[in-house]
Amino acid sequence: MASLFDPITIGDVTLKNRVVMAPLTRNRSPKAVPNTLNATYYEQRASAGLLITEATAITQQGQGYADVPGLYTPEALEGWRKVTDAVHKAGGKIVVQMWHVGRISYTSLQPNGGQPVAPSAIRAKSKTYLVNGDGTGSFAETSEPRALELAEIAGIVEDYRKAARAAIDVGFDGVEIHAANGYLIDQFLRSSSNKRTDAYGGSIENRARFLFEVVDVITKEIGAGRVGIRISPVTPSNDAFDPEPQALFTYVVEKLARYQLAYIHVVEGATGGARDHQQGDRPFDYAGLRAAYAAVGGKAAWMANNGYDRDLAARTVESGEADLVAFGKPFIANPDLVRRLKDGAPLNAPDQTTFYGGGAKGYTDYPLLEQVA
């Protein structure tokens, strides 16, 4: 029976424990360039079995929020090298979450102030984070997107390939494809945001086509053993909706089984919200999803996320229901979360007012266990 604190090998990467830092957007990389403060933040949390970076834009078109990092300029890649070096020196492992926001963006963030792109010209009922002229941050309604021309899609797939290659070249141990939370790949998957009538819309197979073109190029470029993927079958984040999530995501995982990825990361319920959130006419069956994946030969590690506490995480791994558990907010406030979970020690409470934007306050200044009186 495995424990949360046992090592595990996922694909080509061996982890010292099964406690994962989930991707957490913090909006602290001005000009999309990771900086030394970011390096310190990740280094502080390197006792995690695996760090997944905050969502990282593969191009400017894929950028949807102010001050999130990118993977598409020389300066950003140099910045990420500082992060991977610092994490590796501290004995950690780190993968980068590769992100294209699609319609969850704002014209001022887009190349030439243009419209964000999406499978269809359907505006999301969602907001994005902008930085004002005086340096303060605020949330704004996302802009009206334009539908991608069929001829543009191959170019975005190539952007993913380039970004994956760059990620490995700057020292990441692998990549996580962000296919969750109502961003571009998820916008193609969900029928509420994809009304295309070409080969990328309509049937589940067609709506998943873009996802598998991305998985194809990335696994060919860097090897499937360094590739994870995040999905969120029923999250309502960013206005995501599909009435038949079980059928949709069963198709997705059964096809993913062919790739022997390093891991599959599943957000259970509403991202950052209710674990029992439901879309469609019945509760989502996560165990059934994993069983469907395994039944067709899928062997990737299974990573569970959303609202886990120590006891639930321990039980979930000990029972074999998941191989790893990803923690979000607890890692914001507890750089030494692994030790605290292992010792059953109290956790620092996260300060929600400093989640997004700013500097060291609420980012790198949370106390370690030994610093708490």
Ligand X SMILES: C=C(C(=O)O)c1ccccc1
Of 52 and 337, nearer to ligand X (C-beta) is 52
The residue at minimum Cβ distance from ligand X is 55
Minimum gap (Å) between residue 153 Cβ and ligand X: 22
Q: Is 3 or 352 the residue whose CB approaches ligand X more closely?
A: 352
25 binds ligand X (CB under 6 A): yes
10 Å CB burial of residue 184 (0-12, 13-18, 19+) is: buried
Q: Is 271 in the site for ligand X (CB under 6 A)?
A: yes
Q: How far is the CB of 104 from ligand X (least distance, A)?
A: 8
Q: CA 217 to CA 175: how far, in whole Å?
A: 13
Q: Is 237 in the site for ligand X (CB under 6 A)?
A: yes
For 10, the 3-state DSSP assignment is: strand
Which residue lies nearer to ligand X by CB, 201 or 236?
A: 236
Nearest approach, Cβ of residue 137 and ligand X (Å) = 11
Task: Please report whether residue 55 would count as binding ligand X according to CB under 6 A.
Answer: yes
| Closer Cβ to ligand X, 25 or 219, answer by number | 25
| Distance, CA of 297 to CA of 299 (rounded, Å) | 6
Is 65 a binder of ligand X (CB under 6 A)?
A: yes
Residue closer to ligand X by CB (options 102, 174) is 102
Report the nearest approach of ligand X to the CB of residue 181 (Å). Answer: 4
The total number of residues written for the chain in this structure: 373
Cβ neighbors of 126 (< 8 A, separation 6 or more) are: 104, 141, 142, 182, 237, 238, 239
How many chain residues bind ligand X (CB under 6 A)? 6
Answer whether 81's CB lies under 8 Å from 35's CB: no
CA 11 to chain centre: 18
Note whether 264 and 20 are within 8 A (CB): no
Instruction: Check: CB of residue 124 under 8 Å from CB of residue 104.
Output: yes
Two tokens at 224? 């499937």
In the complex, least distance from residue 158 CB atom to ligand X, rounded to whole angstroms = 22
Residue 29 binds to ligand X (criterion: CB under 6 A): no
Q: Does position 364 bind ligand X by CB under 6 A?
A: no
Catalytic residue positions, numbered? 183
Return d(Cα 323, Cα 257) in angstroms, integer.
Answer: 16
Interface contacts to ligand X, rule CB under 6 A: 25, 55, 65, 181, 237, 271
